[in-house]
Structure 1
């Protein structure tokens, strides 16, 4: 992926922005791994979930999965993994919004704001388009001379199949007007700002209320999630809200940072109050993350105890999962860290520096990974099913989970190395990568 929103924010030395942090890069890498793990186990999860109502009759259709479906404790980790897909997507869009919207906000008062902003937007979109073209060509070469890649001949796989990528392009165009709007709100009366906040929260609450309906009725007859169906668009709307919310968090962080650095004699008590009101304490953010993880675990335990396959699949259904959103939000807050007065530049030992470089290099390949993972499904899915074949007994469930996770990690490493070693050097030649 283009060093995306993070690099572009950093490339503006005169604009206020959150510093690039290793913890944010680690979070992006975790998002990639989470998406990979979700796709590896997704088919097995839905097969086992469909077996739940007939477990006690030991339906032949369940095959070797019947034993696992009959043991909620063994199925629980698989269920929890199903939140990782929407969680990873939320994380990516939140990190993008956090940097892009805050960067636009910091430049909103500059001359030629719109021209410079949309020049940057055009550059990002161009980079994404060329990335898609690069992988289309690479898949053609593999299909022609190495192994068949059926999806390379399907236009739909490059259009609706890359929904995640197109949404990123769309959201980047929203960053400048969002940053400009937030900048204008600074000059408004407090009642206007409060009204805007209440309206935004009401819209978000309505979105997730509709998401509950979408998730609960996803398996109902006649529901197809076609592009013309409003349910299909709920994913885009929900991810857009995550993008914009994280952008507001980035702007709020700038306000807190400016408040701290406005005077050199800020009392410690005032500094702590600013940090707490803006982003909570580090301990509080960690508690939020653990509570969200606990809620996910409890929700799946209840669904398995009933057993209720509709509830089981609805908890993590696409972007509609409120729990995945809350987990992503708390993870972002933890990763960006507290606002500090004049934070010192990080000093890394050679080992930590090498780890930082490796994590950043891998995390920058999220767009490339998503394209490879989506377009080459017919190639890696049979391997995943062979490597992580569902266990015949509950006793081998741990081996099943372990082999599936290791396969997911291998797929991430392969895709990200391909992006880092092949695409990025080519894009550096045309000055579209750093």
Structure 2
């Protein structure tokens, strides 16, 4: 077997950051929804009574700065998902475009696509068996059974969108190589997609629970395809090292700016706009942060290998396993994280709002990191050895 080129540790570190960002997003998502609901309700008497009774969301809603900070955290979900697809587009689109010049392109890409699909399907099947075993022999997992399909369909919708993008990537690469106006064409499509997303977020958000084929739900899939195209655009714009340093500074400024915008909206009382700016997977802010983050990290890797680099590459390679595990085992980690948040709030008490909020945010961050570490460790000893044995990794 040919020796594989080590993955660029700069980009792998971004992939690992995306895993953490998604975990943090999921940890605080219910709290953000409840806190903004309190803020939009405007019933201060009921909120104070709920806060005195220990309602964490009511305590957080007392601080517009905290609500704004949660709004910023809520951006992390779409940010992490966009990073996942952008990195795929960054590597796959140029690779397929270049290969499309050679004979036997469709046959070779068909084999490559089957291999990628095999990794996804085997990973889902493996962890589905694990979830069923946990539910049967260790502790019940609500919604996880052979008689229900939601946990394998809607619960893993992101995985199935990824599979669909992998299937069409050879066609995208073929068209990319033959399109003379690929940059304006791709950018026009991305702008159109986010105009529709803006309509959804600000004008027609629809019901909280969406059907799998509801058009707003399908826009999530289209949005991730847009992120895939953006990755291809970033790949064709190699940055000079000096420019790369400026882009990294710009990325930090962009994150700080997004935080300030979310807090400013909350302080000004525009909580409805705050919610819209981080709406589900369609947030333009999240996409922009993901794009500038990838551009900042898309530099040649350091020449000297290190143990830290090897650890980053190993951890980042478990991103697919992490996605599947955090979805299938949601009830397990959700209960533990909620208990951690409640204990942090109870330890301080509602009498000191600022300290209580800081304790909750800190506990949530720690809980998120523990979830990430746990799932990456499981993936390291369960899925990755199987893929190596099948020569799929």
TM-score normalised per structure 1:
0.81
Distance 2:32 2:362 in 1: 15
Q: Name the counterpart of 1:138.
A: 130
Match among 194, 199, 210 for residue 213 of structure 1: 199
Contact 1:72 1:305 in 2 (8 A): yes
Q: Name the counterpart of 2:230.
A: 245
Contact 1:94 1:246 in 2 (8 A): yes
* Structure 1: stretches of 5+ with no match in the other structure: 1-7, 14-18, 186-192, 257-274
1:259-294 alpha-carbon deviations (Å, 9 max, x no partner): xxxxxxxxxxxxxxxx45xx9811331243134213
1:142-201 alpha-carbon deviations (Å, 9 max, x no partner): 12221112232131111111011111111112221222222223xxxxxxx34x433332
Deviation, structure 1 residue 218: 5.4
**For residues 223 and 422 of structure 1, do their structure 2 counterparts lie closer, same or farther at Cα, with a shift above 3 Å needed?**
closer
Q: Name the counterpart of 1:387.
A: 340
Deviation, structure 1 residue 219: 5.2
Q: Name the counterpart of 1:322.
A: 284
Q: Name the counterpart of 1:49.
A: 36
**For residues 366 and 74 of structure 1, do their structure 2 counterparts lie closer, same or farther at Cα, with a shift above 3 Å needed?**
same
Distance 1:80 1:376 in 2: 25
Q: Name the counterpart of 2:328.
A: 375
Distance 1:55 1:324 in 2: 31
Distance 1:207 1:136 in 2: 33
Q: Name the counterpart of 2:16.
A: 29
Q: 4+ residue stretches of structure 1 with deviation over 6 A?
A: none
**For residues 175 and 418 of structure 1, do their structure 2 counterparts lie closer, same or farther at Cα, with a shift above 3 Å needed?**
same
Contact 2:27 2:334 in 1 (8 A): yes
SS of 2:211's equivalent in the other structure is coil
Distance 2:70 2:285 in 1: 16
Distance 1:37 1:199 in 2: 35
Deviation, structure 1 residue 308: 2.8
Distance 2:333 2:169 in 1: 35
Kindly indicate whether residue 155 of structure 2 is the aligned counterpart of residue 161 of structure 1.
yes
Distance 1:92 1:280 in 2: 26
Number of equivalent positions? 378
Contact 1:67 1:394 in 2 (8 A): no
Q: Name the counterpart of 1:171.
A: 165
Distance 2:204 2:256 in 1: 25
Which structure 2 residues correspond to residues 184-203 of structure 1 after superposition, within 5 A? 184-185=178-179, 193-194=180-181, 196-203=182-189
Larger Rg: 1
* Structure 2: stretches of 5+ with no match in the other structure: none
1:2-50 alpha-carbon deviations (Å, 9 max, x no partner): xxxxxx9x95x8xxxxx73211111001000000000011101110000
Contact 1:55 1:70 in 2 (8 A): no
Deviation, structure 1 residue 398: 1.6
Distance 1:385 1:145 in 2: 24
**For residues 208 and 38 of structure 1, do their structure 2 counterparts lie closer, same or farther at Cα, with a shift above 3 Å needed?**
same
Q: Name the counterpart of 2:304.
A: 347
**For residues 184 and 203 of structure 1, do their structure 2 counterparts lie closer, same or farther at Cα, with a shift above 3 Å needed?**
closer
